[in-house]
Amino acid sequence: MLKYVGKRIMYMILVFLIMSVVLFFLYNLIPGDPARAELEPLRNKLTAEEYQYRYEQARQRLGLDDPLPVRYAKWMSGVLRGDFGMSSVYKLPVNQVIINPMKVTVFINIFSIIITLAITIPLGIFTAVKKNSVFDKSVQVLTIVGYSIPVFIIALLFIYLFAVRLGWFPVSGLNTPNFSGTPWEEFKDMMYHLALPLGVLVVGSLGGLTRYVRAAMIDALSMDYIRTARAKGLKERVVIFSHAWRNALLPVITLIISWLMSVFAGSLVVERMFNLKGMGDFYISALTNQDYNVALAIQLFYIILALLGNLLSDLSYGIVDPRVRVNK
Amino acid sequence: MKKKSIVLLLVFTLLLSMLAGCSTTEEPVTPEEPVVEEPVTGGKPTSPTGQLTIGNTTELSGDWVPYWQNNAADYDIYNFITALSTVDITFGGEYVVNDAAVEKYETTLNEDGSKTYTWTIKDGLVYDDGTPITAKDYVASVLLWSSSVVGEMGASNDYGYYLKGWKDYSSGATKEFAGVNLIDDKTFSVTIAAENIPYFFELTLASIAPTKLSFWTDETVEVKDDGNGAYLSENFTKENFEERINLARREVPRPSTGPYVLKSYDEAAKTAVLEVNPNFPGDYTGQKPLIQTVIYKKVNQETAFDELSTGSVDLISGTVGGDEINAGLDLVEKGGFSYTAYPRSGYGKIMFQCDHGPTQFVEVRQAIAHLLDRNDFAKAFTGGFGSVVNGPYGESMWFYQETKAELNQKLNQYPYSLEAAKELLDQAGFNLDANGNPYESGIRYKRMDDGTLMPLILEWASTEQNAVSDLLVIKLQENPDLAAAGIKINQTVMTFTELLNYLYRDATQGAKYGVPTFHMFNLATNYNPVYDLSTTYTTDPDMFAQGYNTNFILDEELDRLAKEMVKVDPEDRETFKQKFVEFTVRWNYLLPDLPLYSNIYHDFYNDKLKDYEINSLIEISKAILYSYVTE
């Protein structure tokens, strides 16, 4: 087992290094001159000589005059020490500016994932057990509708209905500006602001996951061992949860683990619509503002997450299904 | 047991979210809602009261000084918390001595042609925390923000750029700043370098605001002056203070000299809360703020008017899109909301590069102007909330307003006319076909001095996802009259960065960019109250090569007029206006740019905001200073 994990980690390091080279060189192929962009506001003020002097200084400070491989080596040695460079927009170290969006995203996603799993797993199991019932058919129709509607449409509908028409929730934001109260009151205020975005995220995810769980459960329930379990006279609850669900979990686990890893990934549409400064919005802003050090750092982080997610998925198979455990 | 616990946990989380979301049907309490000092029942209060939330589509970055970045939202906050400068601005965009900060001042024209402003500040000026403001604080601004220390940290250390000795001081060549002197606790002087005199906006060159040096460094750094110019003590080095300065850029709370104090900033929500500064003595007229709390909040363009209608924000500033303005006007029509409309100080434009290809000929540029119905274009693009200008100005500028009648007579409006365009093209020599025969149909050609034929094909660079470009395709590129006139326009869509590479002909970014390729670009330009285009149309070879003159127009007269316009005594308004008219007439003839539309900005607000007046020459902080709210 340890040998297997060790091999996988070595493989992950190799993939990470290859991806870092590819991404670094791709970003540096994009036309643009950060030194020129920095001096743009001063262009009409400075004389030609002063402009040239400052331009050269800026290029030197930003390390733009080095050949690309040298720049990569410098950047990677920084990355390995936890230094992702400076954000060209915030003029601060990347790992400093990334903290707040990450906190927002993790906070939102934890609740979104918990609520979604709390609804979809029981719902998927129930609809599989009650296959072809009126309830099952109704859920099928609703989930296909929810699955088909783009998230931004759901967001606009929610805003119009619950914020503008009914006035139950605020249109956007993370908290009431200038709000001050006990930590519990602040938490309640934040949840009040997050009710709509969480609702949108949950509704947007319900369809897919419910149908996935339902399909896995239907497969499991049609197996011979379920018939055997029932023939043995086991209670239906035990048949469903101990026998069917345990076996249905294998395909679902991959999905759930990727979901758990996505706790760090922001939802661009929801964050933009509700003015939440999470990772999705932050990443797109970094790309549009050509803040490539930030964009690179985020992408590398997601690569690590994806690689870790794969490893965890594979290991979790073994936990759920002893047949696929690696013993050597 | 374990399963039950998990189920219970899930159910609890779900309920918690729903309870937190649904039970709060009433607005969350804001315990720190300012205490209303006196009831306001619709009349103008005499002391600060109430709260105003400003919605802005630009996101705050949290860097509160404009030396490392030029984010417009951060700059708004900067203006709320920074004042007591020696110079203030009127609503009309004119600069005046700030009587709230200046007790007296005198000017001296020196033998070397430089000009010294000696400022004596008023007694009793203090920061928001009560710390006295002395002349050292004013001198500290110039020394700190011109220093090589902040320059090496990536800041634009150009604070005292126009003052004598800036170059040596800012590069670290000299310890002293020759053009800045500390005279006593109340008096200091700044000397404008001879090459910048006369200058019509001269007062702005001597405009200095105080900076609390101990906030940016520590108590050990001092402002000194031994007679050769002011300087900072030797312990002010990058090694000693880089970390502190970087922290101070974002620190909240921070010293304030403006009408408001930055009370808090929520990085996650991108929201800043400003409270009134009780020690602010007023602007140049003595006006003090009447709104106790100002909240600056990021809003989305898509939902901005939902925020306004639900009361999440009280004011949305600078709305430009036709759809958004109509949404705002719908709210106004329903009642409970008002708006202020004002012209933009700038315009969207087609920018020509005038040194290569067909656009090097003025007649071609003029012909393009005749082949685009700009009134129709402006109406379509701005949804009817825009106008067309015929020169490089904004309609709110005082010197435009005072010369409007004369300009209207002298400026060519370039009305839509296929015949006029054809005539101009004939005049320019584009009167041949591809075989060199007299032109009858198709694309026009001109025989050049070397005997070759130049086709009348314009290469146009435009950015991706650009609504102006899309409309230009319909109104100009695909206009049948353009083909009838014998012109063809090829559009190339690219990123903005790549467009800039072509615009500046920046060969350092790739050899292809150094080659003149595109004849026209669609861009936009804005003017600030310091209307100085003296380098925009430069013919100086070095500046030309570095891309100062992005039109690449080599017209000595235009360059001369642009420079002469600002080389005028500040008191001589008539000469400035006369030069402005001459410059604008020449510009209008040469058409380095073709203005397409100038927006009418709309600020929408609910009825609790009163006396709100704004134009594109002043900052929103100034408009809020004169406003008040009724609850």
Q: How far apart are CA A97 and CA B62, in angstroms?
A: 11
B53 and A177 within 8 Å at the Cβ level: the answer is yes
CB contact under 8 A, B51 and A163: no
Cis peptide bond prior to B253, omega within 30° of 0: yes
Q: Are residues B501 and A31, on separate chains, in Cβ contact within 8 Å?
A: yes
Which residue in chain A has the smallest CA separation from B301? Answer: A273
B293 contacts B308 by C-beta, under 8 angstroms: no
Q: What percent of chain B has pLDDT over 70?
A: 93
Q: pLDDT band at B340, cuts 50/70/90?
A: very high
Q: Please give the torsion angle defined by the CA atoms of residues A241, A242, A244 and A250, in that order, rounded to the nearest 10 degrees.
A: 100
Q: Testing the interface with B: which of A30, A90, A117, A171 to mutate, by most B Cβ within 10 A? A: A171
CB B565 within 8 A of CB B580: yes
Which residues of chain B neighbour A36 with C-beta distances below 8 Å? 500, 504, 506
Residue range B613-619: mean pLDDT, rounded: 91
CA distance B594 to chain A (A): 21
**How many angstroms away from the CA of A11 is the closest CA of chain B?**
35
pLDDT of residue B320: 86
Q: Residue B31: which of A181, A188, A285 has the nearest Cβ?
A: A181
Distance CA B167, CA B147 (A): 10
B8 touches A: beta carbon within 8 Å: no
Q: Do B546 and A48 touch (CB under 8 A)?
A: yes
Contacts of B70 in chain A (CB under 8 A): 41
The predicted pLDDT at position A38 comes to 78
Does residue B5 sit at the A interface (CB-CB below 8 Å)?
no
Q: pLDDT at residue B21 above 80? A: no
Q: Do B300 and A159 touch (CB under 8 A)?
A: no
Nearest to A17 by CA among A306, A293, A303: A303
pLDDT at residue B125 is higher than 70: yes
Alpha helices per DSSP H over B84-220: 135-146, 148-152, 166-170, 202-205, 213-216
Contacts of A256 (CB under 8 A, 6+ apart): A117
| Averaged pLDDT for residues B152-161 | 86
* Residues of chain A falling short of pLDDT 70: 44, 266, 324-328
Interface test with B, best of A68, A275, A284 (most B CBs within 10 A): A275
Q: What is the pLDDT of residue B33?
A: 39
CA proximity to B150, closest of B30, B75, B236, B268: B236
Query: What pLDDT shows up at residue B8?
Result: 44
Residues of B in contact with A38 (CB under 8 A): 154
| Pairwise CB contact (< 8 Å): B548 & A36 | no
Confidence bin at B40 (pLDDT 50/70/90): very low
Mean pLDDT, rounded, for B343-351? 94
**Inter-chain residue contact A277 with B268, CB threshold 8 Å:** yes
Asked if the C-beta of B302 comes within 8 angstroms of chain A's C-beta atoms, the answer is yes
**What is the percent of chain B where pLDDT is above 90?**
76
Name every chain B residue with its beta carbon within 8 A of the beta carbon of A173: 269, 271, 297, 312
Cβ–Cβ below 8 Å for A180 and B302: no
More confident residue, A267 or B65: B65
* CB contact (8 A) between residue B548 and residue A194: no
Sort out which chain B residues have CB atoms less than 8 A from A277's CB and list them: 59, 267-270
Contact B346/B526 with Cβ under 8 angstroms? yes
* Averaged pLDDT, B507-532: 89
Contact between chains at B299 and A45 (C-beta distance less than 8 A): no
Cβ pair A89:B61 closer than 8 A = yes
Contacts of B300 in chain A (CB under 8 A): 172, 272-273, 275
Q: The tokens 């200073």 sit on which residue?
A: B625
Task: Indicate whether B578 pLDDT > 90.
Answer: yes
Q: For B471-489, how does the pLDDT look when each residue is reduced to its tens digit (9 = 90+)?
A: 999 999 999 999 999 999 9
CB contacts of B543 in chain A (<8 Å) are 47-48
Smallest Cβ–Cβ distance between A192 and the set B24, B59, B501 belongs to B24
Taking the CA atoms of chain A, what radius of gyration do you get in angstroms?
25
pLDDT band, residue B30 (cuts 50/70/90)? very low
Contacts of B312 in chain A (CB under 8 A): 170-173
Q: For residue B69, what pLDDT band results from cuts at 50, 70 and 90?
A: confident
Does B498 contact A at CB distance below 8 Å? yes
Instruction: Supply the pLDDT for residue B52.
Output: 96
User: Cβ contact (<8 Å) for A42 and B158?
Assistant: yes
Q: Do A178 and B14 touch (CB under 8 A)?
A: no
User: Pick from A32, A92, A103: which is nearest to B497 by CB?
Assistant: A32
Per the CB < 8 Å rule, is A191 touching B16? yes
Instruction: Give the C-alpha separation, B479 to B466, whole Å.
Output: 19
Q: Which residues of chain A have a CB within 8 Å of the CB of B10?
A: 114, 117-118
Question: How confident is residue B114, by pLDDT bands cut at 50, 70 and 90?
Answer: very high
Q: How many CB atoms lie within 10 A of CB A261?
A: 19
Q: A41 vs B167: CB contact, 8 Å cut-off?
A: no
Residue B18 has pLDDT above 80, yes or no: no
**Domain span(s) for CATH 3.90.76.10 in chain B:** 13-258+608-629
Residue B542 and residue A181: Cβ atoms within 8 Å?
A: no
Q: What is the model's pLDDT at position A196?
A: 93
Q: Which among A167-171, B58-62, B139-143 has the top mean pLDDT?
A: B139-143
pLDDT confidence of residue A324: 66
Residue-wise pLDDT for B534-561, tens only, equals: 889 999 887 787 778 999 999 999 999 9
Please indicate whether, in this complex, the C-beta atoms of A31 and B16 are within 8 angstroms of each other: no
Q: Taking the alpha carbons of A102, A106, A108, A112 in that order, is the dihedral positive or negative?
A: positive
Nearest CA distance, A189 vs chain B (angstrom): 7
Ranges of CATH 3.10.105.10 domains, chain B: 346-426+455-600
Q: Looking at residue B590, what is its pLDDT? A: 97
**What count of CB pairs under 8 Å joins A to B?**
187
Mean pLDDT of B176-188: 96
pLDDT score of A212 = 85
pLDDT surpassing 70 at residue B2? no
Q: Which of A171, A174, A199 sits opposite B310 (nearest CB)?
A: A171
Q: Which of B250, B302, B540 sits opposite A48 (nearest CB)?
A: B540
Q: Which pLDDT score is estimated for A325?
A: 64
Instruction: Give the per-residue pLDDT at A262.
Output: 73
Opening angle at CA B284, ends B283 and B286, nearest 5:
60
* Residue-level pLDDT at B415: 96
Return the residue of A nearest to B61 by Cα: A90
Computed over every residue of chain B, the mean pLDDT equals 90
Confidence of residue B96 (pLDDT cuts 50, 70, 90): very high
Nearest to B14 among A115, A192, A275 (CB): A115
Question: Does residue B334 sit at the A interface (CB-CB below 8 Å)?
Answer: no
Tokens in use for B500? 């800039």
Interface of B with A in 199-238 (CB under 8 A): none
Phi, psi of B554 (to 5 degrees): -105, 80
Distance from CA of A43 to the nearest CA of B (A): 7
**Is the domain covering B13-258+608-629 a CATH 3.90.76.10 domain?**
yes
Tell me the H-state helices in chain A: 2-29, 34-39, 48-61, 68-80, 94-97, 99-129, 134-148, 151-158, 183-221, 224-231, 236-238, 245-261, 268-273, 279-288, 292-320
Correct CATH for B346-426+455-600 of 1.10.357.10, 3.10.105.10, 1.10.1670.10, 3.90.1140.10: 3.10.105.10
In chain B, which among 24-43 make CB contacts under 8 A with chain A?
Answer: 24-25, 27-33
CB-CB neighbors (< 8 A) of B22 in chain A: 168, 195
Q: Which among A45, A117, A189 has CB closest to B158? A: A45
Chain B residues touching residue A172 (CB < 8 angstroms): 299-300, 303, 307, 312
Q: What DSSP assignment string belongs to B348-390?
A: EEEEEP-SSSGGGSHHHHHHHHHTS-HHHHHHHHHTT-EE--S
pLDDT at A326: 61
Q: Which B residues 588-617 touch A at CB under 8 Å?
A: none
For strands B315-319 and B49-56, give the pairing: parallel
Test A111 with B546 for CB contact under 8 angstroms. no
Distance between B356 CA and the closest CA of chain A, angstroms: 23
